[in-house]
Amino acid sequence: MKLRLLLKSFSNYHINMVIAKILNRAQRMQLPIRGPIFLPKKTTLLNILRSPHINKDARDQIAIEKYKTILLITRINKTQLTHLLRVNINPIVKILLQLVT
C-alpha cells in the first residue's frame, strides 16, 4: 500500500513540527518516505470597513495564508499505519490520509 498525507494549516511552523514528528517515527520504523513536498501558499485578502457610517474610506486589510504539504510513504502495511498515526498532532494542523493500493 501507498499512503499520501496532506497537511493543511494556517501556520507553517506547526506544519513543520508535525512533519518532524512523523518523519522521526517513520525513520524509526524504517519506512521509505518521499517528501516533504511543500505546495505554494494561498493568500486570501480581506478588506473590512472600520466605521461604516462616517468614514467609508477607512478600511482594515487582513491577509489569511494557507499552507499545504504532502508526504508520500511508498510501502506501508496496516500495523505500521496504526503505529504511525499514534503521533501527537497539534489540532491546528489538519491531516488528510489517502491510501493507494
Task: Tell me the average confidence (pLDDT) per consecutive run of 10 residues in the chain, 101 residues long.
Answer: 88 89 86 87 88 78 91 84 80 85 71
Whether residue 61 is contained in a domain is answered as no
What's the domain range around 85? 2-40+67-100
CATH value at residue 72: 3.30.70.600
Whether residue 55 is contained in a domain is answered as no
Where is 100: in which H helix or E strand? strand 94-100
Q: How many domains does the chain have?
A: 1
Query: Phi, psi at residue 79, to the nearest 5°?
Result: -70, -40
Q: What is the pLDDT of residue 83?
A: 80
Grid cell in block for residue 47: 478588506
Whether residue 62 is contained in a domain is answered as no
Q: Name residues whose C-beta falls within 8 Å of residue 28's C-beta, 6 or more positions apart in sequence.
A: none
Whether residue 28 is contained in a domain is answered as yes
Whether residue 58 is contained in a domain is answered as no
Whether residue 7 is contained in a domain is answered as yes
**Encoded amino acid at 86, one letter:** R
Nearest CA to 32 out of 80, 73, 91, 69 is that of 73
Cα–Cα distance for residue pair 14/29, rounded to 1 Å: 23
DSSP-derived 3-state class of residue 28: helix
Q: Side-chain half-sphere of 23: how many Cα atoms within 13 Å?
A: 13
Q: What is the pLDDT of residue 68?
A: 93
User: Radius of gyration (Cα) for the chain, nearest Å?
Assistant: 19
